[in-house]
Structure 1
Amino acid sequence: MSRFLLVTLCALLTAVLAMGVTAVVSRRLGRLSVVDVTWGLVFVAIAWVSYAVGTHSARSLLLAVLVTAWGGRLAWHIRRRALGGDEDPRYAKLVEGVPEQDRFRFALRRVFGVQGLAAWVVSLPIQVAASTDRPLGWVAAGGVVLFLVGVTFEALGDAQLARFKADPANRGAIMDRGLWAWTRHPNYVGDAAVWWGLWVVAAEAWPGVLTVLSPVLMTYLLAFATGARLLESEMSKRPGYRDYMERTSMFLPLPPRRRTRG
């Protein structure tokens, strides 16, 4: 228990420090979407800090490597969108109506504070794994497979969307091809699978199974909170998106439905 308390305290301090630095950078750049770059990287930092102050188990090292692969790819993919162009519509809507002089304090609570706390809770499987030293087994191998499926699904969806947007002929059109024909948010679906896979790796060693709230929370954030639902509140205003919603699953990948006539 004392080992876990040390690990979780260090993880919390890491999240606070990462989001604090991001808040300062965000204020200087005038863009809240900078936090999306930090989102993946804060888990990387937590994973390695947990490994450093934990038992140095093979499970903790494996999780740190997997999280680094996922978080590094995600940060690299998001950096251009977050640092260039217009503010992400999700954040623009969040601060809409907040007086200019109050926006930084508002963002500290509602953006950086919330995401820092969420990262700490979601990373609990990593923290618990860093506090145990049970050898890796077949259950962990299954978790790695699920992780790989998730990160591949996410990366493929991102690549398909990037190619679609790069074609001038698709300007103003709705992406409904490849994985995007099966789910309106393949990147979020992949993210969810990644964290369920990481949880499975941690769950093999007691009491890792008790951290099931972490992938549940991540899935909720992706599907119903700051992810898909919030994004769709803006996307639904675009021509053709309503039709896309009618024939394509919102989250879980399902065969596309036939277009309705009329």
Structure 2
Amino acid sequence: MSVDVKNLLRVTGASAAVVTALQTGTAALALRKERRDYADGVWGPGLAAVAITSAAVGNGDPWRRWALAGVTTAWAARLERLMLGRLRGTDEEDERYTEFLEGDSTPVVIAKVFGTQAVAQLLVSAPLQVAAASPLPRGLRRWLFPAGLAVMVAGAVVEATADAQKARFMAEKKQAKQDGADDDVPDELEVLDSGLWGWSRHPNYFGDSVVWDGAWLAAAASAPGAWTLPAPVAMSYFLVYATGAKRTEDRMGERPAYQDYQRRVAFFVPRPKR
């Protein structure tokens, strides 16, 4: 089965226009408020916007394009609630952005943060765009579509569960510090190593990567969709090396309790605790 190239170009063009508008608006607000970390707040909405735009403009299988848009939007809505809570919880810019952008001019900041994120959103969402402009085959391969949706939902559940477990842990740790005044927090609150966090040191990022593996699998039900494999690979790279897991490891790695945690628990892909 071949993709409708003309329709795919319309889908991609519309998606690029939506992403550009979102990033431009966010950049203007972020620079005015001196909070370049507002970029975190537009990641999920940008991907949801591409999914909905692709479904609306595409002429591929309607069940697939709207199902992908629905799951992506639900994933993005939960992530956005989490991101907005973090951004509103402090008046200080995330130190990652401050360090990364130290001394950069405004055009450089726009390119490094908002321009790069726009390109990343279009790359990661490539399976959604191709699926929106492709018909489903009649053979067994069409079942990759529901399988991919199931994988997306599973990944979203893992990510949400991990975030909820972390939120409870941080609340307990904060309460323990308040109760103990200047005393050290209990040993069990030094590092979160229970629940999903006892299987992976970054189960939320792992779940996120699985969501986009599922999106690729659903798109691969049509032969052209299989060629978008670089999209989930790129997403996994971003989550591990660019913005997520490795940065956390570098920040936490000097703590003895975390070093012990590193010896006992898998880095990314879950496995039983040692």
- Same fold, judged at TM 0.5 (above): yes
1:189 offset after TM fit, Å? 0.2
Would you say the 8 A contact 1:90–1:231 is kept in 2? no
Cα distance change of structure 1 residues 205 and 192 upon mapping to structure 2, 3 Å threshold: same
Cα distance change of structure 1 residues 36 and 241 upon mapping to structure 2, 3 Å threshold: same
Instruction: Note the alpha carbon deviations across 1:99-153, whole angstroms, 9 max, x for none.
Output: 5xx2x32321111111110000110111111112326942111111111110010
Would you say the 8 A contact 1:58–1:135 is kept in 2? no
Of 43, 46, 49 in structure 1, the residue corresponding to residue 47 of structure 2 is 43
Residue 71 of structure 1 corresponds to 76
Aligned partners of 2:28 and 2:222: how far apart in 1?
A: 38
**1:137-156 aligned within 5 A:** 137-156=142-161
Residue 117 of structure 1 corresponds to 119
Amino acid of the structure 2 residue aligned with 1:222: L
Say which SS state the counterpart of residue 240 (structure 1) adopts. Answer: helix
Aligned partners of 1:235 and 1:93: how far apart in 2?
A: 17
Identity of aligned residues (%): 39
Amino acid of the structure 2 residue aligned with 1:152: V
Residue 260 of structure 1 corresponds to none
1:82 offset after TM fit, Å? 2.2
Instruction: Give the TM-score of the pair, scaled to structure 2.
Output: 0.87
Residue 29 of structure 1 corresponds to 33
1:238 offset after TM fit, Å? 4.2
Of 154, 169, 178 in structure 1, the residue corresponding to residue 176 of structure 2 is 169
Residue 13 of structure 2 corresponds to 9
Unaligned runs of 5+ in 2: 178-184
Residue 181 of structure 2 corresponds to none
Aligned partners of 1:129 and 1:196: how far apart in 2?
A: 14
Amino acid of the structure 2 residue aligned with 1:255: P
1:239 offset after TM fit, Å? 5.1
Instruction: Give the TM-score of the pair, scaled to structure 1.
Output: 0.91
**1:217-256 aligned within 5 A:** 217-238=234-255, 240-256=257-273
Q: Which has the larger radius of gyration?
A: 2
Aligned partners of 2:75 and 2:236: how far apart in 1?
A: 16
Instruction: Note the alpha carbon deviations across 1:161-185, whole angstroms, 9 max, x for none.
Output: 0001111127672222211111111
Amino acid of the structure 2 residue aligned with 1:147: M
Say which SS state the counterpart of residue 207 (structure 1) adopts. Answer: helix
Residue 91 of structure 1 corresponds to 97
Higher mean alpha-carbon deviation, 136-145 vs 24-33, is at 136-145
Aligned partners of 2:68 and 2:10: how far apart in 1?
A: 18
1:54 and 2:58 aligned = yes
Amino acid of the structure 2 residue aligned with 1:169: A
Instruction: Note the alpha carbon deviations across 1:57-89, whole angstroms, 9 max, x for none.
Output: 221111100100111111111111123323323
1:14 offset after TM fit, Å? 1.4
Would you say the 8 A contact 2:68–2:149 is kept in 1? no
Unaligned runs of 5+ in 1: 258-262
Residue 182 of structure 2 corresponds to none
Cα distance change of structure 1 residues 201 and 127 upon mapping to structure 2, 3 Å threshold: same
Amino acid of the structure 1 residue aligned with 2:176: A
Instruction: Note the alpha carbon deviations across 1:15-40, whole angstroms, 9 max, x for none.
Output: 11111111112112222221112101
1:18 and 2:22 aligned = yes
Would you say the 8 A contact 1:31–1:83 is kept in 2? no
Q: 4+ residue runs of structure 1 moved beyond 4 angstroms?
A: none
Say which SS state the counterpart of residue 270 (structure 2) adopts. Answer: coil
Aligned partners of 1:125 and 1:58: how far apart in 2?
A: 15
Amino acid of the structure 1 residue aligned with 2:251: E
Would you say the 8 A contact 2:38–2:87 is kept in 1? yes
Would you say the 8 A contact 1:149–1:194 is kept in 2? yes
Of 188, 207, 211 in structure 2, the residue corresponding to residue 190 of structure 1 is 207
Aligned partners of 1:80 and 1:30: how far apart in 2?
A: 18
